Amino acid sequence: MILYLDTSALVKLYAQEAGSKIVRQAVADANLIATSLLSYVETRSALARKRRGGEIGAADLKRGKQAFERDWVRLHRLPIDEASVRKAGEMCDEHALRAFDALHLAAADSLQAVLRTTVTFACFDGALNVAAQARGLETLSQT
């Protein structure tokens, strides 16, 4: 399986949330795990926000950041370039997506086109999953 993790899925590897188990299993089953460069800052932001909000303690934040940094270099990191930004802009119109959601979808859609094989899109946003399915991506809940 080729797996694309958007940030809502990626964070579940470093902070216990609903859906963490399914993401961990998908990662274990995947032959290739990809994400956008955008996920780096979004994941760091999400972990810091969880700490500020009291969802995780200082030790959990430290462990989560260390694990994320270790894993980051192992992920297939997709660039954000002008082509992907323009594609994401079109997806905002077509699917009524938020900007960063559209960037994730554009990255996964491009990966699927380049590899010419089905990509499983892991995300925990209903509207984004609907858009991913419309683009021919599998979603994690379908696997």
Residue 39's pLDDT is what?
98
pLDDT category of residue 135 using cuts at 50, 70 and 90 = very high
CB 110 within 8 A of CB 82: no
Encode pLDDT of 73-118 as tens digits: 999 999 999 999 999 999 999 999 999 999 999 999 999 999 999 9
Opening angle at CA 79, ends 19 and 122, nearest 5: 15
Domains of the chain and any CATH numbers: 2-142 (3.40.50.1010)
Residue 21's pLDDT is what?
96
pLDDT category of residue 32 using cuts at 50, 70 and 90 = very high
CB 25 within 8 A of CB 130: no
**Which residues are 5's β-sheet partners?**
122
User: pTM here?
Assistant: 0.95
The torsion angles phi and psi of 119, rounded to 5 degrees, stand at -110, 135
Buried b (16+ CB within 10 A) or exposed e, 74-98: ebebbeeeeebeebbeebbeebebe
Which of 136, 133, 113, 112 has the alpha carbon at shortest distance from 123?
Answer: 133
Does the pLDDT value for residue 143 go beyond 70?
A: no
SS3 content of the chain, % helix, strand, coil (to 5): 65, 15, 25
Residue 84's pLDDT is what?
96
Mean pLDDT (whole number) for 40-48:
98
CB 51 within 8 A of CB 21: no
| Helix (H), strand (E) at residue 125 | none
Encode pLDDT of 61-73 as tens digits: 999 999 999 999 9
